[in-house]
Amino acid sequence: MKDFFKHSDYFYYICLDRDANILDSNEHLQKETRFLNHALEGSSFSELVYYKDFSNYQSLLEKSLIEGERKFKLDIRKIKSDGLDFYWTKWEFTINSGNSESIEILGLGHIIENVNEKSVQFPDSINDLHAKNSLMEGLLEENLIGFWIWDIAQQSDQLSLSLNEVFGYSPIQKSKSQKNVKWKKHVHPSDKVKVEENLKEHFSSNGKHPFHCEFRIKNVHKKDIWVLGYGKVLQWSPEGDPLVMAGCFFDISERKKTESLFRQQTQYLTTVTFNQTHLMRAKLANILGILEIIDPKKSAMEVAHFIKMIKTEARKLDEELRKSISDSSSLQITPPQSENQALMI
């Protein structure tokens, strides 16, 4: 059976050690990994698959070993033969163990169609790998807000029901005017320039660079939502002007909130560090200054007075050091009082 899979032009065959190093593979897999420019054997399985899927593989392997299971299945995004994109494959892994320290994992895989119900197919001319992978992550993590179709020539758009709800419109509410592009109307004023620049880049590249932009949208209730917007012109005029564009939004508010809190914490830590360092250097400067003016030839009473001053400054310096250590070990930050305050930073 092993020989059958090793000579198959349909199945991928791979043999891995516990650290995911490739021990053996079939010719079908080798042909599709020539972009590596080095032998497949001895390489890591992580070089062939999307990083999140490789992490899932490692987790399932450890779980199977702990629970005593010998097989597990996993859908994996495998890199294409050109090394520039991914497609979905289905794998079954079998664990063969000689002893607790020496194991082999045999994997059989084949191409599958992505059956995710929220999949959206953009034209094949989208070559931006980062945009594609981010789009796929958003779909899999179920952060999709909704879709829009923009009639650029008529300056009107159609929104999915979910996007209508996010903007605050009722399902039956109609536009007051035909020339009313609702998705652009709800872009936050501070982000309009950035959105227009990304649209201009997409149009001027004739679609080679997809519309891929992070910005805020504001609904009719004046609530700000951070989104990751994607779009693609689907129809061009004979003169090369964009006519119809489709796009979608993913909710990234939680990620932006986390980033905002991290920036505040970093700024707070920087400020605390500066203040503490300034105070400690001031105390040390006082000690050094006193040492400079001590004259051993002076009277014992005068020298004793200076030594007492040094001890006082040394105690103050010790207090600042203790305070600095305590603050650094229990550093906390008070979150913003509202989500909008956090996102505005």
Do 216 and 270 lie in a common domain? no
Q: Tell me the three-class secondary structure of 70-113, residue by residue.
A: CEEEEEEEEECCCCCCEEEEEEEEEEEECCCCCEEEEEEEEECC
- Phi, psi angles (nearest 5°) of residue 136: -65, -40
What is the distance between the alpha carbons of residues 31 and 81, in angstroms, rounded to a whole number? Answer: 8
Q: What are the structure tokens assigned to 184, written together?
A: 């652009």
End position of a domain, from candidates 251, 270, 287: 251
Do 141 and 247 lie in a common domain? yes
Is residue 116 a part of any domain in this protein? no
Is residue 118 a part of any domain in this protein? no
Q: Which of 59, 50, 202, 211 is nearest to 136 (CA)?
A: 50
Do 276 and 216 lie in a common domain? no
In the numeric block, the tokens 């605050």 are attached to 168
Do 310 and 239 lie in a common domain? no
Count of structural domains within the chain = 3
What is the distance between the alpha carbons of residues 334 and 345, in angstroms, rounded to a whole number? Answer: 14
Q: Is the pLDDT of residue 183 over 80?
A: yes
Q: What is the pLDDT of residue 13?
A: 92
End position of a domain, from candidates 234, 251, 268: 251
Q: Is the pTM of this model over 0.75?
A: no
- Return all residues near 15 (Cβ < 8 A) that are at least 6 apart: 22, 23, 24, 25, 104, 105, 106, 107
End position of a domain, from candidates 251, 278, 303: 251
What is the distance between the alpha carbons of residues 32 and 11, in angstroms, rounded to a whole number? Answer: 12
Do 171 and 133 lie in a common domain? yes
Taking a C-beta distance cutoff of 8 angstroms, is the pair 5, 110 a contact?
no
Reported as a single tens digit per residue, the pLDDT across 205-245 is 988 888 889 999 987 776 788 888 888 888 889 888 999 99
Is residue 124 a part of any domain in this protein? no
Do 287 and 273 lie in a common domain? yes
The residue among 322 and 123 whose pLDDT is bigger is 322
- CATH number assigned to the domain comprising residue 71: 3.30.450.20
